[in-house]
């Protein structure tokens, strides 16, 4: 059975100001709210509002069984790794954006399934702004008795790693977004059996299929007798 460990790191949450464990504000996220003023009086409208921390925790907790089910549905025998998800919800609690900020799973079908499970949860509405942002990291252990792929560094991949990175660059440009990271499962003959994709913003979801298609024809070094896992960025 897959093991799941969850580290809650939601941003822009509504909670008690005196709470000792209240997360520190991230200057690159929580502090980036846009405001506007008009007329003689000051009218302010925040882009990023607050979320009720307890209800966000509940939503992530309800998703756990579905996330584990996504892992077990995979065609790969040993999906494991880290998935850091970002969820944007509007004032009604509807999910308006969802993407993987980080993923070392190496399986896009599992990543898509996970995002679908999270979008289906009941989320609290944003308060004091147009959207609220929640972030959570899930760590998935390989099933008991199943050998995970060998961990590769870029030095192990061989000369075609440059072509693989070029694919990321082309897909990033096509999606008009930020840098992308791919995690691939490499078969014993060097072929890429599976691809996972993550990025700094929602454009990574637009780029994912492009990355999958582009990497399908690239061969890397043979990892030997067992499959390998490699994460690289562009």
Could you list the residue range(s) of the whole structural domain that residue 112 is in?
3-15+45-141
> Which CATH number goes with the domain that contains 120?
3.30.1150
Which of the four pLDDT bands, split at 50, 70 and 90, describes residue 18? very low
Question: 197 with 224, same domain?
Answer: yes
**Average pLDDT for the chain:** 86
Number of folded domains in the chain?
Answer: 2
- pLDDT for residue 1: 55
Question: 11 with 124, same domain?
Answer: yes
Question: 11 with 114, same domain?
Answer: yes
**Residues in Cβ contact with 135 at an 8 Å cutoff, skipping those fewer than 6 apart:** 9, 10, 11, 84, 85, 86, 87, 101
Q: Go through the chain and tell me how many residues it has.
A: 234
**Residues in Cβ contact with 218 at an 8 Å cutoff, skipping those fewer than 6 apart:** 160, 163, 164, 167, 192
Q: What are 23-39's pLDDT values in tens digits?
A: 434 433 333 334 333 34
- Which of 113, 141, 169 lies at the terminal end of a domain, its last residue? 141
Question: 117 with 11, same domain?
Answer: yes
Which of the four pLDDT bands, split at 50, 70 and 90, describes residue 149? very high
Give the three-state DSSP class for 36.
coil
- pLDDT for residue 2: 61
């Amino acid at each position: 059975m897959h093991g799941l460990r969850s580290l809650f790191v939601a941003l822009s949450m509504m909670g008690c100001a005196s709470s000792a464990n209240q997360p520190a504000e991230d200057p690159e996220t929580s502090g980036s709210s846009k405001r506007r003023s008009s007329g003689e009086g000051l009218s302010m409208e925040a882009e990023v509002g607050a979320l009720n921390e307890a209800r966000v925790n509940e939503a992530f907790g309800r998703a756990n069984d579905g996330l584990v089910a996504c892992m077990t549905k995979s065609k790969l025998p040993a999906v494991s790794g880290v998935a850091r998800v970002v969820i944007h919800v509007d004032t009604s609690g509807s999910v308006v954006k969802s993407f993987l900020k980080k993923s070392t799973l190496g399986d896009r079908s599992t990543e898509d399934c996970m995002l679908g499970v999270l979008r289906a949860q009941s989320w609290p509405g944003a308060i004091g702004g147009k959207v609220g942002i929640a972030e959570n990291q899930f760590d998935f252990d390989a099933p008991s008795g199943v050998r995970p792929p060998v961990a590769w560094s870029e030095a192990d991949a061989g000369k075609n790693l440059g072509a693989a990175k070029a694919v990321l660059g082309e897909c990033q440009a096509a999606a008009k977004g930020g840098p992308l990271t791919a995690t691939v499962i490499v078969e014993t003959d060097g072929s890429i059996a599976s691809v996972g994709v993550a990025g700094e913003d929602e454009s990574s979801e637009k780029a994912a299929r492009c990355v999958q298609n582009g990497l399908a024809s690239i061969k890397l070094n043979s990892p030997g007798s067992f499959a390998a896992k490699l994460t690289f960025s562009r």
